[in-house]
Amino acid sequence: MAKYIYENRNWTNFTWRETDVHVLFGEVRHLQGRIIGQMNTLGFATKTEASLTTLTHDVITSSEIEGEKLDYDQVRSSIARRLGIPIAGVVPANRNVEGVVEMMLDATQNYQNPLTNKRLFGWHSALFPTGYSGMHKIEIGRYRSGEMQIVSGAMGKEKVHFEAVPANRVKEEMDNFLKWFNDNSPIDPILKTAIAHFWFVIIHPFDDGNGRIARAISDLMLARADQTTERYYSMSSQILVERKQYYEIVQKVQHSDGDITDWLHWFLQCLKNSLLTTQTTLQKILRKSEFWKIHENTELNARQRLVLNKLFDGFEGKLKSSKWAKIAKCSPDTALRDIKDLIDKGIIHQEQQGGRSTNYVLSEF
């Protein structure tokens, strides 16, 4: 038996046990429909806010899987600017952020366009604007010309997890992949998303950035499945949570004879978990929307609006006057005046806890 799946003859004629994925597939489709149905009952501004939040998390978590931390506000501002969404507290984004955002938005907003070599090369170039990955110069905007091994462990004790398709086969393999991806095959787009992700990862066509591009390809196909540019759930966020299992399942199925049942089952379960998480997020967005509906005529300054939005978006830690001053870029005295005003209006209150530090939380509304 071949060591790796791609060493089998006609290796991309994948098979799977329908009975093992059928129920899970149905649950995913049901949840998807329910979430899109819920979103369609909301106003334009709330839907836009939900989509912006999802896209922001998608970009951040896809990079975090690769060990790269991006700034939340930079990512959010970059997406909002490119989509023409007015938001408070816009901050300039660095080249790294702009590149990842560019790729993700091209995938999700132009999902109907065919996926081509040229488009993938554009994504790759956007991910590595300097031509370097960390300290290493890499081949940018073209398929790799060298061999690719995924290894771990100290020098001299490396463990090879995977050897990708030989470099001289990459172009031919990618041509086959893109032809299949762009064909209007009868296969459901959700299953097609799962297969495409696995297929691309096995080829590993680039010097670096394969994981992020595989996830962008997934987002593109999921947007086709939903038939909308608006994103309400993030597969990357869930893969980040389950990344240990992700690597384990890829490693297991890469040695199969073409049966990818285990991979499809894992992918669909991960997608289901992502959709369930979205239902929770949706409740937060609805709460935020309700709040601003109640307070649409309340007199609030830009600093207060900025910090209140942060509290709804999932504020980390406790809100103190010193944090307020830092976020709103104002003096401690101004921060205290802003806070007192919101307390007087019944919007926030002091947390009932002892100790020297005073924390503030949102009041029920």
| 168, containing H or E segment | helix 167-182
pTM for this model (two decimals): 0.82
**190 alpha carbon, distance to own chain's centre:** 17
- Count how many residues are written for the chain: 365
Q: Which CATH architecture has domain 301-362?
A: Orthogonal Bundle (1.10)
Instruction: Tell me if 111 sits within 8 A of 223, measured CB to CB.
Output: yes
- Cα torsion 48, 51, 55, 61: sign: positive
Name 279's Cβ contacts closer than 8 Å, sequence gap at least 6: 31, 35
For the chain, give the longest Cα–Cα distance. 74
Q: What is the dihedral of CA 48, 50, 53, 58, to 10 degrees?
A: -100
Rounded alpha-carbon distances, angstroms, from residue 175 to 162, 170, 251, 339: 22, 9, 24, 59
What CATH number is given for 5-288 in this structure? 1.10.3290.10
pLDDT at 355: 60
What are the structural domain ranges in the chain?
5-288, 301-362
Instruction: Tell me if 65 sits within 8 A of 243, measured CB to CB.
Output: yes
pLDDT at 365: 83
- Cα torsion 72, 86, 349, 344: sign: positive
From the list 171, 122, 176, the residue with the least C-alpha distance to 145 is 171
Residues of the chain with pLDDT under 70: 1-2, 152-154, 354-356
Residue 357 corresponds to which amino acid? S
Task: Output the six-digit token pair for 321.
Answer: 């006057």
Dump pLDDT digits (tens) for 212-237. 999 999 999 999 999 999 999 999 99
pLDDT at 301: 96
